[in-house]
Amino acid sequence: MSTILTFLTRRRGHGGRWHWTDVASWVWLIGGTVLMFGPALWLISSSLKDPAQLAEFPPTLLPYVQQTAAVEGHDTPLPLFTVTMEDGSTRDLAQVRRIGANAQMVDPGDPDAQISVRIADRTPVRDVGIAHGNYTDPFLHFDFFVYLRNSVFVTFFATILTLFTNSMAAFALSKYRFRGRDAVLLVIVGTLMVPLSVILVPLYSVVSRVGLLDSLWGVILPTIATPTGVFLLRQYMLTIPDDLLEAARMDHASEWQIYWRIILPLTAPALAVLAIFSVVWRWNDFLWPLVVLSRRELYTLQIGLNTYAGELNVQWHYILSMTVVTMIPVVLVFVFLQRFITTGIAGAGVK
Amino acid sequence: MENEIAQVKATAAPEGSDRRLRRLRDRLGPLLRQVVLLPLVLISRAIDPVMRLIQAKAGTGGMIAVFLIPNMAIFGIFVIIPIILNFVYSFTGGAEILLDQRAWVGGQQYERLTDCQNYLDPLSCREDLFWRAAHNTFFFVLFQVSLMVSVSMITALILNRNMAGRGFFRAVFFFPVLLSPVVVGLIWRWILQREGLLNLIVTNFGAERVVWLNDRFYAFAAAIGVSTWAHMGFFTLILLAGLQAIPKDLYEAAEMDATPPARVFWRITLPLLGPNLAVVLVLALIRGVQIFDEAYVLTGGGPGTATMFMTQYIYEVGFASLLRNPGLAAAASILMGAVLVVLTLMQLGLSRRAEKARER
Amino acid sequence: MGSITLKDIRKSFGGVHVIHGVDLTIEKGELVVFVGPSGCGKSTLLRLIAGLDKPSSGAIEIDGRDVTRAGAADRGLAMVFQSYALYPHMTVRQNLSFGLENTRMPRSEIAARVADAARMLEIEELLERRPTQLSGGQRQRVAIGRAIVRDPTAFLLDEPLSNLDAELRGTMRAELSALHDRLATTMIYVTHDQVEAMTLADRIVVLRKGRVEQVDTPLNLYNRPANRFVAGFIGAPNMNFFPAVAEGGQAALPGGVQVAVAASGPVSFGIRPQHLRLAAPGEAGIPARVTLVEALGAETVLHARSDGDTDVLVVLEGQPELQRGQELALAFDVEHLHAFDAQGQRID
Amino acid sequence: MKKVFLGASVLALVAGTAAAQTQTPVRVMWYSDGVEGAVMADILSRFEAENPDINVILDNVAFQVIQEQLPVQLASGTGPDIARVTNLKAQADHWLDLRPYVADPAYWEANFGDRFDWMRPDGSDAIPGFMTQLTLVGGFANATLFEQAGIELPGPGASWDDWIEASRQVAEDQGLPAAFSIDRSGHRVAGPLAAYGETFIGDDGLPAPLSDDAMEFITRLVDWTGQGLMLPDTWVSAAGTTYRAAADDFTNALIPFYYSGSWQVANLSTKIGDAFDWVATGSPCGPVGCTGMAGGAGLVGIRYTQNPEAVARVMDYLASEEVVREFTERTLFLPAHAGIVAEGGLNFQSDDPNVPPALSRFVEASGETLPATDALPAWRWANSVYGALVTRISQAMAGELTLEQARALIDRDIADQVEAAR
């Protein structure tokens, strides 16, 4: 125990005193943890609430369900309330019906005597519980597995192709000198600044002209030549010594082999970072697939869950629950690969 | 003999009880790797002779083309051509969506956008919403980039200290980067709305409920805060990488010189962090100007038009509203792109000059 | 097998001339060392031979075949890089066999060659390790091994020992020498270290600013440097030079020593520190004042200044009693004196 | 290797669709506000069972797709075979004329004919489709809150001022944040504007400049927001034409009065449950009348379909009286079928005692609409007017514009739209 304590309270500097910066750092980090994770936890908790509870204020931290009691003489279980009686005492009563501002209540232990209570004097008895319908209904009505398959297909092929094409281009741009290289680089970096929503209409007409509308490849192809990827990989490849390439050339390796057998394996950390980002990006893509895909059997999860957004109403309970479901892979990536990602970016990001 | 045993013990000891597990992993690892890599190996066997042939025929120059073509072809079709088309769109008028049905109007859209009596007063402009969006975007970028860079810097400095759980906290701050912007906007709207979590907390402390997203100041601050929340982890990591690359002995030397910590930061850390800081600034700037999804979901541009940013304006005018005007949207995006390019070039130029100055 | 001929090789990088017309023939089985100060073009020349760079003009022949335009892989050469350039993601074995696999050699043959090379270099236990798990000397061996397995027409070695510490460098130098004797293959060895050059080379090529200054055996270079540059570059500590003016076949050194020389006008005389000695009483010598005494035990290095402000180095045997500020005269035998004309060319 | 994999996945896709190849495919693009997608899927599966030669594929999409993407598809001459659309008039050129294909055009004329002008170009006699539901804009009141505050619900003929005053008293008594709210939508305020005398359409059929009558109501609306009577969250907290509903604030009993429309009935029923009693109030009155706005979503055939006969068969089935009746009863929508309306006796499937009276109140209110509002659904420029109203009124509410500026900008925005489209 004490070792844990000393581990946790280990700080920089010498001697045993806490410097004010240590305190400030810990406050910052712990505050940051609450701020970073809190909202996601809130989303999960909200996704377990039924529609009525979602709209409720004050919101509860945890999802609750109304307690009911089976009362003799009534076919269905009745909702339970804690009622403040006129003498100030409180009793748990079941509600038979409500008429306007008054409720007909009954004591489950004494089902014959009905009591009239003002509704302001009663509060529902609730227990922590889950509105599992939020999760089960979409799985029944919503082509979850079709959407999942499409999302996986898009994510997988987009990532593979991104890695391939970007690394090849980055190789050419980092390890060869040729006329126009700087121009190509400038164009690539320049387009970093063009957000998709801005060229939506022209891009749509291009994709439509190429015949990729309503096709998963129409979602995949426009995303794979990412300037970010080329840039990231090129920066990393610049750090690979040219000696290795020359050694390989002396070793009878063709240029393709140099790329394939020397450069690619050595770029692995940067490729991993790009792969993870690509997976997250493609998995989360919303606007573009929404524009390209209009057939249900081609929908990705993000588009699928948006079908709960109607013209006049949004079915938040379903959207929230499906959002949580679509977050699972991302969270898994995070949990299992976070060390890889964080150190990878640190290593590959900027050199 | 005894020596050898001692050696074996010494190497085995730290592995402790999971030695068998590790041995299994050592044996399984390569096997797994071979299985995973098998398709790649097969692909390479198939591609290699073709590539050798190309290299023999076309030489190294040909190979450069082979490496560049897939990326550049896709890039050309799906990025460059749309950008060019967008440029063409900006010279056409009407509500039609497809280019071939649209009428050529020359510079009319640009005239309409830049028709202003006073550029600082959007209401005096022909296209007042465009200028409101421009103003909002300008202030957003100004505040958001400064906030994000400072917060990322503080976090990176703290994470660079030698303290327990560094890896964990590094991950914590990175987590939101993985969420989709739509989800980010949704979560925070859920928290900031009238019946949201924040008001629950506020009322628990006895304060009045505030309708955060109805207040110009709070809504704007929320847009800044939320986008900082969502992206700071990425920038923190870049800065952290830079911090860790600064040789430790510089700090030791500074300590020997009894340099006060603030001075160490300004005179050692910051200058040596220069390249990373430049990358962070450029990327943050680009992202700031492009702010869309999370802010759109969060505030919808309100209250009034207080958080309506450039990209939202373009998206709504050009695509989302029932009354679309693609030509106007295209012209607006071209103007925005021009500003971005100028800003980035200025930024790069400045940092390059600073770098040169330092080298001298 | 293994003769290399360079014909008027020139190389410029974007207007900067790096190699100005080099003609050179390397006989088969020879170990030739390119030596020169940094920036003299020795590495560039090696890369031109290797095929990693292409000369701007001139021709390269290997065994009489013109390979000027041939790629690096097609010249049958092997190279050891200064940085070793071992593939960090491959084991030693994979590093050694990579080049052979590229030539579609049968697996058994590859295995046999790798085993041979590993045995020869005593790196058999390291075969399954990766380069990062090796010490500097071990990496060096692997880099050489990678060249050996290829059984090349010639080895090209680019400052292969410069990353090693002094002791290891000595050992490796000896091993390389032994290796050359055993393999009897042509080797071109680039170094800026004249000791390496002297100890290893059959012939040394001294380069300066992209030009060949002299090509000869180590001892000839030492004994008969073709010009002042070579004289100053070869031999440690550096040769001392004294300016003089020749008139009527005679020139006077400081202290009035007259020397016969077949020239007239400004000349300079060089003498190696080892060839100077303290003048016997009455003997004519160059007067100098001691500025520093470095006693190394077996020998003593004397820094002195003659009149005319020329610094002089003297290597004396043993541990003579000398003090800073002491005035003395330095004597020498005339046959050790090298004379150079105003252009720095040797005068015999 | 990769090729094999690709090939396999292509094969799988082809195999998946091969079974459907012998059937005529009919694609329906559909969006849902509630359960109607599930109901429609159910009805269509019965249709398929009866018509094995037709394969109906129901694409349940987000409303955003209908609004943003379908127009682009239509412009390029593609799209589904049938779509559920709200923006009916502006895209009327793209709808298929079903007249030559349906079994009995007279049945269509008789039962849906009144609304054909909403969805066909002016002067055409086409049968483009039918309304899946009618909607009527109108108010809801939280009867329980009114009762607790001891305030009478304003009766029929009560004016907007009466309603806001009564709601204000309830809000004050019950400590509520605001008295009422209206959905953020131009369509929602068009009714009240008409009730104050606005007619929208000029003599030339083009939008007329905003009248003083309209400004009368807009002024009130902005004042009410300024005084905190109208919940600012809905209108102020968004920009542009973004749609925002205040339904959650009403279900959460934050406002005693909510002006929305008949489509909310099902939603309110599920979310409010037993928490309080609520009633539909119809539209409060202005000087000219007590009108709401009719509207709704239409199901239309798309001109670019390959199989107009199959489309017509699907449409015939869906428009048949019994299917419309079932759909209406299960979705709690207002029916758009003249025969059903005349016959009445709809058996709405809800246990909630608040639902039937609310629905009948809306049916009743649909007789109270003014000609000015009745003309709007069939008017090409209605969306331009709605968009300009929302954008500028909410800016005025947020204090970014004065009323005069807002008026000028509304007129200018509409003129720009007309200009751009000509």
B293-318 pLDDT, tens per residue?
888 888 888 788 888 898 888 888 88
Q: D31–A98: do the CB atoms touch at under 8 Å?
A: no
Residue A48 predicted with pLDDT over 70: yes
Partner residue opposite D398 with nearest CB, options B46, B129, B303: B303
**Residue A195's pLDDT band (cuts 50, 70, 90):** confident
CB B302 within 8 A of CB D237: yes
Residue C237 lies in a domain: no
- Of C180, C201, C228, the residue at which a domain comes to its end is C228
pLDDT per position as a tens digit, D27-86: 999 988 778 888 999 999 999 999 999 999 998 887 878 888 888 888 888 889 999 998
- pTM listed for this prediction: 0.80
Q: Is the CB of D252 inside 8 Å of chain A's CB atoms?
A: yes
Residues in chain A with CB shorter than 8 Å from the CB of B48 are: 254, 256-257, 260
Q: How far apart are CA A112 and CA A135, in angstroms?
A: 39
Of B271 and B81, the structure prediction assigns the larger pLDDT to B81
Residues in chain A with CB shorter than 8 Å from the CB of D37 are: 307
Residue C234 lies in a domain: no
Residue A349 predicted with pLDDT over 50: no
pLDDT per position as a tens digit, D125-137: 999 999 988 889 9
Q: Is the CB of A260 inside 8 Å of chain C's CB atoms?
A: no
**Residue D95's pLDDT band (cuts 50, 70, 90):** very high
Q: Give, in degrees to the nearest 5, the angle at Cα C208 between C203 and C211.
A: 80
- Domain carrying residue C179: 4-228
Residues of chain B with CATH 1.10.3720.10: 125-359
Q: Is the CB of D59 inside 8 Å of chain A's CB atoms?
A: yes
Q: Are residues C273 and C210 in the same domain?
A: no
Q: H-type helices in chain C, by residue range?
A: 42-50, 92-102, 107-121, 136-149, 166-183, 194-200, 218-223, 228-233
pLDDT per position as a tens digit, D241-253: 888 888 888 888 8
Q: Is the CB of A224 inside 8 Å of chain B's CB atoms?
A: yes
pLDDT in the model for residue D310: 93
Least confident of A191-205, C58-72, D199-213: A191-205
**Residue A346's pLDDT band (cuts 50, 70, 90):** low
pLDDT in the model for residue B4: 39
pLDDT in the model for residue A17: 64
Residue C238 lies in a domain: no
Q: Are residues C220 and C281 in the same domain?
A: no
**Residue B174's pLDDT band (cuts 50, 70, 90):** confident
Q: Is the CB of B344 inside 8 Å of chain A's CB atoms?
A: yes
pLDDT in the model for residue C9: 92
Residue C56 lies in a domain: yes
What is the token pair recorded at C213? 């200054």
- Best CA proximity match to C78, nearest among C102, C56, C59: C102
Interface test with D, best of B112, B130, B323 (most D CBs within 10 A): B323
Q: Which residue from D minimizes the CA distance to A314?
A: D33
pLDDT in the model for residue A327: 83
Q: At what angle do helices A181-190 and A144-175 cross, to 10 degrees?
A: 150
- Of C189, C204, C228, the residue at which a domain comes to its end is C228
**Residue D409's pLDDT band (cuts 50, 70, 90):** very high
Give the other-Cβ count within 10 Å of D23's Cβ.
15
CATH number of the domain within which C260 lies: 2.40.50.140
For B125-359, which CATH class?
mainly alpha
Q: Are residues C109 and C143 in the same domain?
A: yes
Of A172 and A349, the structure prediction assigns the larger pLDDT to A172
Give the mean pLDDT of D159-178.
Answer: 92
pLDDT per position as a tens digit, B177-198: 888 888 888 888 888 887 778 8
Q: Is the CB of A251 inside 8 Å of chain C's CB atoms?
A: yes
**Residue B19's pLDDT band (cuts 50, 70, 90):** low
- What lies within 8 Å, CB to CB, of B4 at 6+ separation is none
Give the mean pLDDT of A120-133.
Answer: 76
pLDDT per position as a tens digit, A22-43: 888 888 989 999 988 888 888 8
Residue B82 predicted with pLDDT over 50: yes
Domains of chain D, first to last? 25-134+295-343 (3.40.190.10), 137-294+352-421 (3.40.190.10)
Q: Are residues C176 and C321 in the same domain?
A: no
CA-CA-CA-CA torsion for D363, D369, D375, D380, nearest 10 degrees?
Answer: -70
Residues in chain D with CB shorter than 8 Å from the CB of A51 are: 270-271
pLDDT in the model for residue C61: 92
With pLDDT > 70 as the criterion, what percentage of chain D qualifies?
Answer: 95
For chain C, the average pLDDT equals: 88
Bridge partner residues of B104 (DSSP): B92
For chain A, the average pLDDT equals: 79
Residue C272 lies in a domain: yes
Give the other-Cβ count within 10 Å of D396's Cβ.
25
pLDDT in the model for residue B12: 38
Residues lower than pLDDT 70 in chain C: 1, 308
How many helices (H) does chain A have, and how many strands (E)?
16, 8
Q: Which residue from D minimizes the CA distance to A157?
A: D6
Instruction: Answer whether A touches B (≥3 Cβ pairs < 8 Å).
Output: yes
CATH number of the domain within which C9 lies: 3.40.50.300
Q: Is the CB of A336 inside 8 Å of chain B's CB atoms?
A: no
What is the token pair recorded at D414? 């509409």
Q: Are residues C76 and C215 in the same domain?
A: yes
pLDDT in the model for residue D11: 43
Give the mean pLDDT of A46-62.
Answer: 75
Q: How far apart are CA D257 and CA D180, in angstroms?
A: 5
- Best CA proximity match to B241, nearest among B233, B251, B249: B233
Please count the residue pairs, one from chain A and one from chain C, whose beta carbons lie less than 8 angstroms apart: 59
- Of C179, C194, C228, the residue at which a domain comes to its end is C228
With pLDDT > 90 as the criterion, what percentage of chain B qualifies?
Answer: 16
Q: Give how many domains chain C has, as a whole number.
A: 2
Of D10 and B48, the structure prediction assigns the larger pLDDT to B48
pLDDT in the model for residue C306: 83
